[in-house]
Amino acid sequence: MNKIAILNAGGQYCHLIARKVRDLGVFTEIVDFDVAPDSLKDVRGIVLSGGPDSVYMPDSPRVSEGLFDLGIPILGLCYGHQLIAHMLGGKVHGGEVREYGVAIVKIVKSVGLFEGLGDTQTVWMSHGDSVERLPDGFELLASSDTCRVAAMMHRQRGIYGLQFHPEVAHTVCGQEIIRNFVFNICKVTTTDWQPKDQIDILMRNIRDKAKGRKVIFLVSGGVDSTVAFYLCVRALGKENVRGIYIDTGLMRKNETINIINDFKAIGVDNIDVVDASHRFIDGIGQECNPERKREIIGRMFIEAEDDLLDKIESTDNNWILGQGTIYPDTIESGCATKASKIKTHHNRVDKILNLISEDKVVEPLIDFYKDEVRLLAGSLGLPQHMVMRDPFPGPGLAVRCICSTQDRPVYRSHELTEVLSGHGIEGFIAPAKTVGVQGDSRSYKDIAILYGDIAVPVMEGVASAIVNSIGGINRVAYVVKSRGEIEPMRLRIHSAYLTTGRVALLREADDIVRTFVVRHKGQLPDIWQFPVVIFPLGYDNIAGRETIVLRPVLSTDGMTARFAQIDRGLLEMLAADILQLEGISMVLYDITNKPPATIEWE
């Protein structure tokens, strides 16, 4: 059979590997990492995914011993690469230098995976450990300045290893590398898997899951929940599907009315709007921990839905829940086998997991990525502005409103000063943690903030150098503009919570950004998502206690992202508009890629 098996070690990009192979028209199957080798005898190739563990730890994932003796081509990525070396007699060690983000590798031998490619390749790294010594019989294929064994192969056994991730969009020739593995090494001959052909299968799956029950569907207006909801309506009929739009008070300006009008325009009017704005903000109260905030929001979504269900059908248990969950939501929530939790999505809180275990949840898009969802949306005939709506988190502005329980001054760091010394700029560290993803694991670390004269194209390299060399940092931001001179000795993180006033201020700043993006669309890169964050960094005087952060990113699927490089003049114009809002001390520009930082700050 022309099939590729992906063995899942809990990597953040496991399903992305499968999707990249599917993009070639080849069927893939994701299986447990320790699957019995006998069950893989009918596949053409095997990929060992990345994962959050270290191969030299006692309880780290292992493949079955007989896997390497099947005579089937094997490709190990990141953790999978290290495991091949570890199990076949090489040596892996914890690296003194971590690599997160863009790297340049030099191709030593342009064969196998690298056939037809150039002598140097721009790739995406996310690792702390490295292969130090090749196993017997293996040849070195590629190296980087900080990773000697960036690629290796055993020519006779058809076993390959890559320390970098060819499956992510930012490995420039990643798809060509995967293509070489699938067609040249695995000798796959048929290409008959197409995403657009999945619509009938998805609707059949919805009917099988519903089992005659009706579906009550949480809609947000985002492309994921819109497509999943529309599929349920198509599969079950409008009379058997009811949408709920919960107005949390955490949406962007005019968002609610625009979303409802969009649904009416495509003939879907079976949606109830629930005003729960005070309930959500009051429910979060003084909670500052991002995981707890997400859990509270997830629980309140279900409570609001339960209240409506009680009104709709208090004595009938003939309803199940519908959600627009896509695969990154589950992998980042740690719901895949051996995966590390990066952040809990509101559709993966305990109450939702209990409903899933009771077979009371339908999630049509659970195996899809956002770009695939958009392809489905186009095939379903949905309007372009709905298909391409900016991704927006389910918890809304709550996870863009950073909170703090106490006042703390910013501080300077010798390590940071050393990294910045060659660039003629200054910086300090803000002791307010944000979520990141490093080496397939969640990180929760402080933010380095830079100021001074630096060109935008240089920022990426500086940010990477900071994160890779300073263990307590996972995110770097740059001061675009501030009210007056920057005085680090007076700057501090203030105690601040999720309040109606802070959300309103963030909403206005976000609206300024969205208007600016529309007005200057021809001058901006093709931005995939543009979160705007309010951050309690400022001076002691009340007028300047808040900072607004701009977080424009380039991506295709949200699993990896590069910060969007915007012209300095445009950035300063946008910052000047935002600083007209009362209470804003400065405007920052997040210059961190994913990894090491997540796209959202929480």
CATH of the domain at 201: 3.40.50.620
**Any domain includes 595:** no
| Domain that includes residue 339, residue range | 195-396
Same domain assignment for residues 37 and 120 = yes
Same domain assignment for residues 329 and 431 = no
Same domain assignment for residues 260 and 132 = no
- Give the β-pairing of 74-77 and 408-409: unpaired
**Any domain includes 403:** no
Question: Does the active-site annotation cover 167?
Answer: yes
pTM (global) more than 0.75? no
**Any domain includes 401:** no
In 26-117, the DSSP E strands lie at 27-32, 45-48, 74-77, 91-107
The CA distance from 282 to 303, in Å, is 14
Name, in order, each residue with C-beta under 8 angstroms of 467's C-beta and a sequence gap of 6 or more.
Answer: 98, 100, 101, 473, 474, 475, 476, 592, 596, 597
Same domain assignment for residues 363 and 418 = no
Eight-class DSSP state of 406: S
Phi first, then psi: give them for residue 348, nearest 5 degrees: -135, 30
**Any domain includes 190:** no
1-to-27, 187, 188, 190 alpha-carbon distances in Å: 9, 11, 9, 9
Q: Pick the catalytic residue from 78, 147, 232, 335.
A: 78
Identify which of 364, 330, 334 has the alpha carbon closest to the alpha carbon of residue 347.
330
- Domain termination site, one of 159, 185, 211: 185
- Domain termination site, one of 347, 362, 396: 396
Phi first, then psi: give them for residue 15, nearest 5 degrees: -70, -25
**Any domain includes 600:** no
CB atoms inside a 10 Å sphere around CB 469: 15
Residue 105 is part of a domain; what is its CATH number? 3.40.50.880
Q: Pick the catalytic residue from 14, 99, 167, 255.
A: 167
Question: What pLDDT does residue 315 have?
Answer: 46
Phi first, then psi: give them for residue 73, nearest 5 degrees: -55, 140
The CA distance from 564 to 530, in Å, is 9
Question: What pLDDT does residue 339 have?
Answer: 52
**Any domain includes 602:** no
Question: Does the active-site annotation cover 363?
Answer: no
The CA distance from 143 to 137, in Å, is 18
Name, in order, each residue with C-beta under 8 angstroms of 96's C-beta and a sequence gap of 6 or more.
Answer: none
Angle (CA) 503 506 511, round 5°: 125
The CA distance from 405 to 292, in Å, is 14
- Domain termination site, one of 396, 426, 441: 396
**Any domain includes 596:** no
Residue 567 is part of a domain; what is its CATH number? 3.30.300.10
Same domain assignment for residues 176 and 202 = no
Same domain assignment for residues 516 and 497 = yes
Q: Pick the catalytic residue from 86, 127, 154, 165.
A: 165
The CA distance from 102 to 82, in Å, is 20
**Any domain includes 336:** yes
The CA distance from 23 to 20, in Å, is 5
Identify which of 520, 519, 524, 506 has the alpha carbon closest to the alpha carbon of residue 583.
506
Helices within 316-403 (DSSP H only): 327-332, 350-357, 370-380, 384-387
Q: Number of structural domains, the chain?
A: 3
> pLDDT digit string (tens) for 88-118?
999 998 866 677 778 999 999 999 999 999 9
The CA distance from 579 to 482, in Å, is 8
The CA distance from 170 to 14, in Å, is 16
Eight-class DSSP state of 251: S
- Tokens linked to 194: 């197409």
Same domain assignment for residues 387 and 437 = no
Same domain assignment for residues 391 and 432 = no
Same domain assignment for residues 386 and 482 = no
CA-only gyration radius of the chain, Å: 24
Same domain assignment for residues 474 and 377 = no
Extract the residue ranges of the chain whose pLDDT is less than 50.
Answer: 315
Angle (CA) 563 564 567, round 5°: 130
Q: What is the 3-state secondary structure (H, E, C) of 444-510?
A: EEEEEEEECCCCHHHHHHHHHHHHHHCCCEEEEEEEEEECCCCCHHHCEECCECCCHHHHHHHHHHH
The CA distance from 263 to 364, in Å, is 19
- H/E segment holding residue 200: helix 199-210
Longest CA pairwise span in the chain (Å): 70
- CB burial of residue 497 (10 Å; 0-12, 13-18, 19+): middle
Same domain assignment for residues 338 and 441 = no
Same domain assignment for residues 81 and 212 = no
Question: Does the active-site annotation cover 401?
Answer: no
